Each structure stands twice: as C-alpha cells, then as structure tokens.
Structure 1
Amino acid sequence: MPSTRTYLVTGAASGIGEATAERLRAEGRAVIGADLAGAGICADLATPEGRAELVARARELTGGHLDAVIACAGVAHFDPLTVKVNYFGAVATLEGLRPLLAEGADPRAVVVSSATAIHPHDPAIVDAALAGDESAAAAAASAALERGEGHLIYGSSKRAVARWVRRTAATADWAGAGIPLNAVAPALVVTPMTEGVLADAKTRRLMDAVLPMPLHGHAAAGQIAPLLAFLTSPENTHVTGQIVFADGGTDAVLRGEGAW
C-alpha cells in the first residue's frame, strides 16, 4: 500500500477523529485534519461558509486528488446546531469532496453515525434533513426542544446520516465511480464529548441502560479507528452502503435477530 495515500479526517482535533488521524499517520499515510481549531483546515461545518472553506482548502492542499475521507466531526447538544453539524456538515463534506475522491487512487469514504440512530427519533427532523432543507430541519429541532424532547435531536441527526448513506452509496456518483461509502455506528465512546455524561453516576447508569454494551463496555476512541481505517483502505473493495455497528453489542441487544 503506498505511503503517499492521502486522507482527510474531519473532527481531527479530538475524540474518534483525532485517534483515527493518529493511527493513519502512524501507518505512514498523509493526513489532512479538519476541525474548528487546532487542525490543518479550520472550518465551521455548522455553516455553509465553513463547508465551502473545507472543500476549497482541501482542493488547494491536495491539488485536487484525495484518496479517502473520514467524516468524524459531530456534536451532541440539545440544539439545532447538532443537526447542522452532524447531518448537513457531514453530507456537505462528503458531497463536496467527492470530486476530489473521483481523482484519487482507490477512493473511499466513511462517516460516523451512532447506535443512537436506532432509538426513537423525530421524523420531522429526519425528513427535513433528507430533503436537504436545513432551515426546516433546524426548525424541527427547535420544536423538539420546546416540547421537552431535545434528547431526540442527536439520534435523529445520526439516523438521517445513516439513511443518506443507504440511499446514496449505490448511486452512479459513488458506487458507479468506484467509491465505497459507508457509516460506522459506535455506542458509548469515551471522548471529550461524552466525559461529562459518563462522570455523573446517575447519567452514566441511564446511558448504559439505553446503550447496553455487553462486549467490553465503553469503547476508547482508538478502538473505533481501526474499523474506519479498514473501510477507507484499498482492501475494502465491496463493502458499501453499510451501517457498521461498532457498539459492543448494543444493536444486537436492542433490535435482536430481526435486524441484520
């Protein structure tokens, strides 16, 4: 595998994105990190301007050739911002960088969804996101907050991403262009985003009840990175359109044998 293979990783300043970027660099890959700050590309994926900046800088830094994209950037707030980053930012990243992937060698793409995508969700958020209507999706998230259902926003954003991958991966722009597109769905991963939740004993018990992980419990960010690395490697020739659960058994416990 050539050491010059070039990856772009969003959310690279912390959590799963940071661990993945570190792993790839240790393997000799060239990695361009993107985040709000502290990365090679600093861009706010909650905004159209930030998304455009990401694509423009990536094109500038790579000369228009990119081999893999790993979209890890995400937030978990009871706020419309979560939908803007987790869905619209992720989709804009993948769609905006697809032309660069088409010029790369053995191009691959993966986005981080979540095991919470199988939890109850807000159809208004998901439907608006999949329709590409960011204003309506943000309004639906605000309405969920007003109803006291802000907890639905994060899972809804990740469900929308998973559905986008399923509807997009087999299209001419992706599979037809030889670009596998997948999602990884972790459960509880110990990152700066979850540390506060896990530090409180009551909240931790609640999270363990809704995201049971019978195999090894909570994951470290570095335990998700190898799967992301494989899915974006040349060795992955046929896995596409999949939501791969790296969840310690959460999906198997909650959905059983009827979903596979």
Structure 2
Amino acid sequence: MTADYSRPTTQLASGQSMPLLGFGTWQIPDDEAPAATTAALEAGYRHIDTATGYANEAGIGKALASAGLPRDSVFVTTKMPPDHVGRERQTLEESLTKLGLDHVDLWLVHWPPNKQATPQAWEQFIAAQQDGLTRAIGVSNYSLDQIDELIKATDVAPAVNQIRWSPPIYDAAIAAGLADRKVVLEGYSPFRAADLDDPTLLAIADEHGVNSAQVIIGWHVKHGFVVIPKSTRPERIISNAAGATVDLTADEVAAIDALGS
C-alpha cells in the first residue's frame, strides 16, 4: 500500500492544514518535473512546492492532472519572483494556468523585493486570497522585522515564512519569533547546509536504523517545522519521505539543535 504523508500537519492562521512533509522542486527542469512529481505523489507526498522562478509549473501541472487525485488532497505552493511587483495578480494567474488549477493552497513572495518588505505587494496578495485564487499567503526569506512591517501596514500576518533551514543553521530565536507571530516556519534545502557524516546525526541514525538525511527530516517534523526535501531519483524521494516517520526523543532533538549553536 502506498504510504500517506498527508499527515502530520500544521495548521495555518488561515485555517487549513499544511502537511509538514513537502516535495521541493527547485532546480528540477520542466521536462523532468512530471516524472519527479509523479514519483513523489506515488510515494505518498501530498504537498508540492514550486515557484514561478523554477520554470517548472507546467510540468508539475501535468503530474497533478495525470495523478487524478482529489484537488483538496494535494497542498500546492507557488511563489512570486521579487521583480514581479506591480503585476502580482497576472503572475498568479499565469501560475494557475500552468499548474492547471483554479487556486493554489499557498502563495509566497519569493524574496523581499529590493530587499524591502514591500507592503504594497502584500496588499495584492491579500486581495488574491480574498478573491479565492489562493487559500493562504506567505513570504519566503523574510526577516522578523520585515514580517512585522507587513503586519503593521496591513494587520495581516504571513501564514508561512519559507527560509533556508537545517540543523547546523538552527536558530532558536528565529523559530520562537515566528511562532510568537503565529507564522509557520517552512525550511528549504535541509541537506545542503548539513554534514550528513556528522557524528551526532550518524549516531542517532544508527539508533533508529535509518540514514542521517532521514534524521534531519524527522528533526524538522518533531519540531513542527515544514520541510521540503528535493530529489529526482524515485528511491531517494521514497527514502526522504520515510524520514517523517522517524520518532526522535527529546534528548535526540536537543542534541541535533545543539549543532546550530
């Protein structure tokens, strides 16, 4: 039977549930996206992360269409490039056309435009959510101060902040700051900043009969962080997903946290 990674979830401020395990698609070319995304869906992933800037939304749309899964069973995220300020709605509509969807579950500002919070763009995101083109809205690569600027200007907090995140760059202050603002922390590139041969990770992996990459996924899930590992290899896609079931102890989580200190 196919695994089901629609759970565990975190609840967004907008009300819907977001699977903690997602499939990242950065650097997957459009012509490879259908096969990779299909492999992820067949492995039980129910959360797909893409972006306008990845230029693979059409390929992902093909996989979603061929999978034949109920729309509400797959959480789909895309992102607006920072240089698309002024044409926010057009960008989202183009993404929806490529994805073959009438709405996404989460739409993110990919980076702060010109390194600024840019509340005027955020206002357009709020409008798109109100119009039903996206169920939730958020940001990526924003600082806490920039998030506060958006909240002050609009009274609407991002549901999610997607940031580079991994045990060696774990920052308890950032995690706590986002939690205080009821902003879900979503981590990308979980392995790129990590040393998969780190003795702490290897010892914990050995204790659970898994590999160190799976330990990193399990660490995210245990904390309640969303994680979006990426691969185009079916066997690695399946292996990464299994990390979501690794049940780390509190002491093991603390030991992994300490890698970031």
TM exceeds 0.5?
Answer: no
TM-score, L = length of structure 2: 0.34
TM-score, L = length of structure 1: 0.35
